[in-house]
Structure 1
Amino acid sequence: MRVRSFALLAGGIFTTGTAFAQSTEIPKPLRNPLDKVSAADYKAHVQYLADDKLQGRLPGTAGYQMAVNYVVEQYKKRGVLPAGENGTYLQTVRLRRAFTEPGATLRLQASQGSEQALTYGSDFTFYPNPAEASTTVAAPLVFAGFGISAPELGYDDYAGLDAKGKIVVVTREEPKQFPDAVRLYNTDVLTILQTAAQHGAVGVLLAAVKPTVHLPEPPKGVVSVLGTDGKVAVSRTYGGPQLRVLGSVSAATLQRLFAGAATDTTAALASLRAGKPASVALLPRLTATQRTRYQDVESYNVVGKIQGADPKLRDEYVVHTAHLDHLGVGTTVEGDSIYNGAHDNATGVASLLEIAGVYSRLKEKPRRSVLITMVTGEEMGLLGSAYFARNPTVPKSQIVANINTDMPTIIAPLLSVVALGAENSSLAAPVAEATKALNLTVEADPEPAQNRFIRSDQYSFVTQGIPALHIKYGNKTADGQNNLSLQVQKWRARYYHKPQDGMNGQFDFDAGRKYAQLNFLIGYLIANNPTRPTWNTGNFFGERFAKK
């Protein structure tokens, strides 16, 4: 392994502000522990976790418990200390899967007094309510454009709009006038719900703007996390007890809701596309009724600790995460119904286990402590990481950074990377240093339309004010074509979230080895730096969340 090097301080601790010296080799304290990261061991982890006997690692099943037991066993072998609840490696995550029962109704009361019943499936659908098994909501309607309230950015769909006690209708068309980070945050459904609740709404209807024949049903129900008090603690589709109804309506239904209003959908949508709010009171009044049934199960995050060496800084933590869950058993595709999740995300778990192995071989640990954390419920909406980030097993204020590992897509040699989120904070510096050490280059995201930064577990930490990043593949290839993103797109069409993502697929386990080494180096640099990471001045996510 030909690499550039870290500079040694007296006593064997590596410097951090300018971590690399001019020499061309990693110093001995890191060289052997890193060299012993094994592609064969990496493959063995993936092979076990993606075996049919684990039945796709669906949370709450025996297969997921087998994965938990495997990780705990690997932690113990590597000397990783328990950092879960009550002296264990586990943090309990209570999952509630909610389903809308048949018979849901949505009735429109026009201004003349006549009532119209809308048709479930073609005119509207409801998302199940994880907190109320039976709901009836009768309320007037308002149209709130994109559902964005960001006066500090010069845009507010709620300016002058009275939403208190009303059902808010918002378009799912995305605004074009905002930078990516701002757009991603403000158009996230949870942000829309929270904004509506802050303005006093009792419900939200998400409106399609293009004609559709049928609106999609929420697949396999909607999953939330219950807190120890039995109340909803984390959900992607629940904005709090005040918001009692969340649904989707078709473009044709949206037209009906605008009947008799001061403007029509054509003018309102044209205004929004021009960057101007088009909020308006709508004349009809809606009555929504639904019943919800629940399936509650217990799952677990698995949390281990590498104790830091500095008596003061060891009480601060760098958190490595990877999601342990996948989709379980589902629809048969080409004769197979077990969604093994080899790439997604057995490779991420393997990376963290190999990182733990490097730490076990270090004679001297970094200044800060490191948490190796496998989270549950990522495939259900980042639930395990969101619960951990809000309720960590260590003081939240002492978590300095998160490095997430989700589906590195090791199908070719690792020659370059994309560091999703590193541009938001001082984490860009250790990324630059570690990639240089491994002769890797850092590139811009080749697939910005995938919105990958908010789609994996690092985002759970960002929303709690903790700088975070996620290392993904770059575009560089050995043949100079530099088209790896195209290869990944072809791979994704064939394997992603399908039973075909098993051990018979395409792998480059040497790339997995290098990926684990890289993530170790990034985490090590952060853990050893006496200065904790900071958000960049004026960064949107830092400004929005750093005070949490």
Structure 2
Amino acid sequence: MNRKTIRLVLALATITTTGFSQQITLSPEIKTALAGVSPDQIKADITYLADDKLKGRAPGSDGYQMAVDYVTAQLKALNVKPAGEDGTWLQKVRLRKAFIKDAQLILNGVSAVAKSFVIYPNPIVDNMKASGGLAFVGYGISEPALGYDDYGGIDVKGKIVVILRGSPEKFSSSVAAHVMNSTQIMRVAAEHGAIGVMVGNADSAARMANVSRGTYSIMDEKGDVSISRTFYSKQLSVYGALSYALLNPLVKQAGKDLQALPALLKAGQPQSFAINAAANVAYTSTYQDILSYNVIGKVEGADAKLKKEYVVHSAHLDHLGVGAPVQGDSIYNGAHDNASGVASVLGIAKIYNSIKVKPKRSILFVLMTGEELGDLGSGYFAKHPTVPGKSLVADVNTDMPTIIAPLLSVTALGAEHSSLAKQVDQAASYLDLSVEPDPEPKQARFTRSDQYSFVVQGIPALHIKYGSKTADGKNNLNDIVAPWRAKYYHKPQDDINGVFDFEAGKKYVQLNFIIGYLVAQETAKPTWNAGDIFATK
């Protein structure tokens, strides 16, 4: 080992993982940089990004462009290098907003009442007609390795499958969120030869989705659909929903009881059967194309070989724009969601700017568009990264960290599926934080933010959220968050005048930095746990 190599090794963090120990030792330089994370700077970043003049940062809007310009300038000032397309900071994201017109559903020759069904628009075929028999396939889940398959023993080729949204109780929260995801449901249906999917309502009081405002997809350079949550392929020409009033007689006609099906499915007993009905669907779609951007920067790693691999720190830059007024305010500023997450990523970039010796792997900062439209910008980046696809080894995502109270414990959504759990435990231990299981498993939070886009591309990823621990020992933070969320989440009231704990924001920055740094330092790539549902994705 030469002197230069010895100096490099001594300057880097020393990681100790003997036996069951989660102890790590960070270099004095890194400790100083961590201590220098500024709550005031976090507040300043949020204040700008959530200002009324940005008009809620809707993708493609002038306000979103102001946000792009702001984060680009901040990254430049922190000596981050551009890592977008063609040497720029940006990746083009071509959004298509599709609207439905003249949708018709005919069941056994009888036209269904308009409000009793929903058909989602098609982003590439403007006039669509489809017909086929119906088949009920439970939750639409096919996971034989987990002991559950709604498609076992039933032929759905050329048919429109009808499902209920849900998953067996035996599935963990993140697995349940994955198999219930609309893209996954459509993919499984298409792989079994179906030509359409209709999500049925077993609750007579359930309200039908409103698609009059349009749905979004991302188009590639050739004009094909790259990412969508309501379209999978040309083969799958129908995606929609059926009301209870339409579904109940169809199920009854097959000799089944719609009221009994949910409990059986929840118990892990597949309920699949043919429905003696033919469906004819016809509809027209119209389009509005919108250009938006992901912002991408990098810090180059120190190792000659490993610097060609990347650990991603991500957060979404967009929010909901201008919408329906609430208490006289129509600008959905998105201070917590997700100006706070963007500020956190900028804070991590500042730490890297403060340390001379970088980790072995390179670091990628990705600030993405279209999360509020269905994780679309992250979906496009994870599928079409601006660096070689196989070079992405992990994603540490930050979305609405909910900095409203001291951060004493955390939940690492998704980490339980991969070796990233080790780095989470090490980083949390260093900061005296406890790690807890998801306190809100029914919220399906694992698939509701950008880390999921990386997971479905086979890249281990996680999303740190608050745990339940509170300073008074009641450990009921979720009870505190619930009324806060009801008042602020996806409302114009989510601005800089709301409830904030910027010291908690500092702790998030420190934690996510350490997690990413440890991954970037370890020679071995993160791996999925053996036999995990995502190990083959």
The equivalent residue for 1:75 is 75
Counterparts of 1:267 and 1:483, CA distance in 2: 35
Q: CA deviation at 1:448?
A: 1.6
The equivalent residue for 1:116 is 110
1:38-49 map, 5 Å: 38-49=38-49
1:362 matches 2:355: yes
Q: CA deviation at 1:326?
A: 0.2
Q: Which amino acid aligns with 2:74?
A: Q
Q: CA deviation at 1:306?
A: 0.3
Counterparts of 1:369 and 1:291, CA distance in 2: 47
The equivalent residue for 2:3 is none
SS in 1 for 2:190: helix
SS in 2 for 1:534: coil
Counterparts of 1:375 and 1:157, CA distance in 2: 35
Greater shift, 277-286 or 409-418, is seen at 277-286
Identify the match of residue 208 of structure 1 among 201, 214, 218.
201
Identify the match of residue 228 of structure 1 among 218, 221, 241.
221
The equivalent residue for 1:316 is 309
Q: CA deviation at 1:240?
A: 0.7
Q: CA deviation at 1:461?
A: 0.7
> 1:430 and 1:117, CA in 2 relative to 1: closer, same or farther beyond 3 A?
same
Identify the match of residue 458 of structure 1 among 437, 446, 451.
451
Q: Which amino acid aligns with 1:15?
A: T
The equivalent residue for 1:447 is 440
The equivalent residue for 2:400 is 407
CA RMSD, Structure 1 to Structure 2 (Å): 2.1
> 1:24 and 1:395, CA in 2 relative to 1: closer, same or farther beyond 3 A?
closer
> 1:26 and 1:459, CA in 2 relative to 1: closer, same or farther beyond 3 A?
same
The equivalent residue for 1:154 is 147
> 1:23 and 1:247, CA in 2 relative to 1: closer, same or farther beyond 3 A?
closer
Identify the match of residue 138 of structure 2 among 115, 138, 145.
145
Q: Which amino acid aligns with 1:484?
A: L
The equivalent residue for 2:12 is 13
1:460-479 map, 5 Å: 460-479=453-472
Contact preservation (8 Å) 2:91, 2:294: yes
> 1:356 and 1:257, CA in 2 relative to 1: closer, same or farther beyond 3 A?
same
The equivalent residue for 1:422 is 415
> 1:10 and 1:125, CA in 2 relative to 1: closer, same or farther beyond 3 A?
closer
The equivalent residue for 2:90 is 90
1:293-442 map, 5 Å: 293-442=286-435
1:187-266 map, 5 Å: 187-212=180-205, 214-218=207-211, 220-258=213-251, 260-261=253-254, 263=256, 265=258
Q: CA deviation at 1:522?
A: 1.0
Counterparts of 1:23 and 1:167, CA distance in 2: 54
Greater shift, 28-37 or 306-315, is seen at 28-37
Q: CA deviation at 1:269?
A: 5.3
- TM-score, length-normalised on structure 2? 0.94
Counterparts of 1:453 and 1:21, CA distance in 2: 28
- TM-score, length-normalised on structure 1? 0.93
Q: CA deviation at 1:24?
A: 9.6
Q: CA deviation at 1:172?
A: 2.2
1:509 matches 2:508: no
Q: CA deviation at 1:443?
A: 1.8
Q: CA deviation at 1:73?
A: 0.4
Q: CA deviation at 1:253?
A: 0.5
Counterparts of 2:514 and 2:263, CA distance in 1: 50
Instruction: Work out the percentage of aligned pairs sharing the same amino acid.
Output: 53
SS in 2 for 1:257: helix
Q: CA deviation at 1:264?
A: 5.0
Q: CA deviation at 1:159?
A: 2.1
SS in 1 for 2:134: strand
1:485 matches 2:484: no
Counterparts of 2:55 and 2:532, CA distance in 1: 42
> 1:207 and 1:25, CA in 2 relative to 1: closer, same or farther beyond 3 A?
closer
Greater shift, 217-226 or 456-465, is seen at 217-226
The equivalent residue for 2:492 is 499
Counterparts of 2:433 and 2:164, CA distance in 1: 42
Counterparts of 1:187 and 1:405, CA distance in 2: 23
> 1:26 and 1:194, CA in 2 relative to 1: closer, same or farther beyond 3 A?
closer
Structure 1 spans left out of the alignment, 5+ residues: 1-7, 110-114
Q: Report how many aligned residue pairs link the two structures.
A: 530
Q: Which amino acid aligns with 1:181?
A: S
Counterparts of 1:13 and 1:406, CA distance in 2: 29
Contact preservation (8 Å) 2:130, 2:237: yes
> 1:523 and 1:298, CA in 2 relative to 1: closer, same or farther beyond 3 A?
same
Contact preservation (8 Å) 1:59, 1:299: yes
> 1:450 and 1:214, CA in 2 relative to 1: closer, same or farther beyond 3 A?
closer
Greater shift, 174-183 or 420-429, is seen at 174-183
CA offsets 1:113-135 (integer angstroms, 9 cap, x no match): xx2111111x2111111121111
Contact preservation (8 Å) 1:258, 1:283: no
> 1:354 and 1:257, CA in 2 relative to 1: closer, same or farther beyond 3 A?
same
SS in 1 for 2:289: strand
The equivalent residue for 2:4 is none
Greater shift, 479-488 or 369-378, is seen at 479-488
The equivalent residue for 1:5 is none
Counterparts of 2:22 and 2:157, CA distance in 1: 63
CA offsets 1:333-384 (integer angstroms, 9 cap, x no match): 0010000000000000000111101101111111000001101100000001
Greater shift, 174-183 or 382-391, is seen at 174-183
Q: Which amino acid aligns with 1:119?
A: V
Contact preservation (8 Å) 1:435, 1:442: yes
Q: Which amino acid aligns with 2:513?
A: F
